[in-house]
Structures are given as structure tokens and as C-alpha cells.
Amino acid sequence: MLLALVQSNEEGQVCYQELIELMSSKRSSSFRRAIANGRRTLQREILLDETGLGLYKRFVRYVAYEILPCETDRRWYFHQNRLCPPPVFIAIVTIVQIIVFMCYGIMLNKWVLQTYQPDFMKSPLVYHPGHRAQVWRFFSYMFMHVGLEQLGFNALLQLMIGVPLEMVHGILRISLLYMAGVLAGSLTVSITDMRAPVVGGSGGVYALCSAHLANVVMNWAGMRCPYKLLRMILALVCMSSEVGRAVWLRFSPPLPSSGPQPSFMAHLSGAVVGISMGLLILRSYEESLQKQCSWWVIIFSFITFLLFAIFWNIFAYELLGVQIPPPP
């Protein structure tokens, strides 16, 4: 294993931290078992040099270079990858979002700016400050979207980034990151933009995107994905444009409406969740999160924010005398 680490480094060296991790077996039990059984045999050539691969294995190799910054981890993921369990969480969420959007589009005969339809805002899935007691709305709003452009943007990003992340890091970690972004989005809106409703899965999408972009930046030298600088600039431009559009719809709606338009704060809170919680998850490939002190610090911070938001939603609206628009 020490030889494999040396061969995977361009300078033929092993840093002190890599040696410590190898000798103290900080990796997961499956990783240690693989080393003990001699199944982690790594060749001298880099993974890109392998030829004669089928379509699926080429896609797995692409995912490995897209997500993982270390050649050793890329080879390990490539050789131990299995189709079971498949990356189904992001795919199921996207399919449900599309089905819900199509149902409301057909029912309302409207495919853009759907929030201007009263029947759309009457949905039991939309988060509305007047319905804060219905706890499921803090999650279910992720299935509703303002229009075709918001759905297309979110679906494209979460499929392009979420599916590779789920293939590498597993359904449990990626679903936790996505749902944490969704919950943080609605709770942040309930604190910072108390009169506004929320629709769209942008909190979860931005959690995935910001975590991946932060991981690329933190491991810039090791990432081998093609055109990484250009792709990062394009991603940042697209994400900024979506936030700008959400701000415009919130404060300068193009049509008169009966109440405030959906808030944009879910985008920003999802990005914060991705940079904090998501970055640690993505940097801990095949390592146990429970053994890392920083993981528990992040969990404690998130739980503290959750408790604060619960008390805020119970007491702050009446104490501050916030005039909530009547629920549709």
C-alpha cells in the first residue's frame, strides 16, 4: 500500500499525513478489509491510460476523475464500483419534481410564473408562513417550482452533479446533504424573510453544487477533470444568475400578485450548508465521519440553528407583530 501511494504521486513521495493515515488505519472497515485481503492492487499506470473499457466502465472512470482528487482513491473506486446500490435518490427526487410540475402545469394551463396562480399557492406542498404549523411544508416545497426555467435549471444541475456524487459517496451521505440544504432553506426564509413563501429545490441543489465546487477548489492540484477552470466559472455564473433572477422576482415581480413572491434566501442557505457540511462529506471518501471532531462540530451547529429556528417560528412572529399575508 505504501508503494501504491508513492506511485500515485507525481513526485514519487508520500507526505507525513498520508503515512499517518495509512499506519493508523483511519479508513473505513471495508477499506481495511480490502487491504488485508490483498484486493487493492494498484498498477503503476494512471487510470486514464486503461484501454478496452466498456461504456459503463468509461462512465465510472469519468465519475472518478470528476469527483475524487487522489489517484489512489480514483483507482480504488474504479475497481470496487458496483451497480448495487444504484444512485436512485437524486433520480427519484428529480422525477417526482417533474411529475408534480407537469400535473400543476396541466391543471393551471400555465408553465411559467405559476406562483401568480392562486390555485398553485393553495397546494399543500408550498411553504407559506401562514401554514408554519404544517411541518411537512418545510421539506415538501422542494417539489414545487416557479416555472419551467427554474425546474429545468434545478433538474439539470442536480442530475449532472448529484448523480456522480451519489455514485461515489453513497445515497446516505448525499441524501443527508441535499435534505439538510432543503431544510436550512425554508428555516432561513422563516427567519430572514418572514412574510415570503418558498418553492423549488434550490436549497438542496445549491448545497450539492457549492460542496462540489468547494471540494474542487480545496483540491485544485489533484483534480483531473477537464477544463475545470472554465467549468467552475460557468457554474458560478449560472448559479449567480439564478440567484439574481430570484431576487428580481421577489422584489420586482413582473405582474401584480396577491402576496409576496417566493424568497431567494433558500439559495444562499443551501450554499452555506454545502460549503460547511458538504465539503467535509466530500473530503472524507471511504472514511468514517463519526470519528472526526469537525463533523460533530458541524452537526452541533446545525442542531443549534434548528432549535433556534423552531423557537423563532413559535414565538417571534407574534412578538415582532409581523403582518403575515393571509394564506391562499
The catalytic residues are 202, 267
Cell 472512470 locates to 61
Cα–Cα distance measured from residue 128 to residue 324, given in angstroms and rounded to the nearest whole number: 9
DSSP 198: B
Indicate the SS3 state at residue 39: coil
Backbone angles phi, psi at 287, to 5 degrees: -125, 150
3-class DSSP state of 226:
coil
Q: 282 with 70: CB under 8 angstroms?
A: no
Which amino acid belongs to residue 224?
A: R
| Overall residue count recorded for the chain in this entry | 328
Grid cell 394551463 is found at 109
- Phi, psi for residue 158 in degrees, rounded to 5: -70, -25
Q: Report the candidate in 87, 119, 94, 85 with the shortest Cα–Cα distance to residue 105.
A: 119
Cα(131)–Cα(109) distance, integer angstroms: 26
Identity of residue 12: G
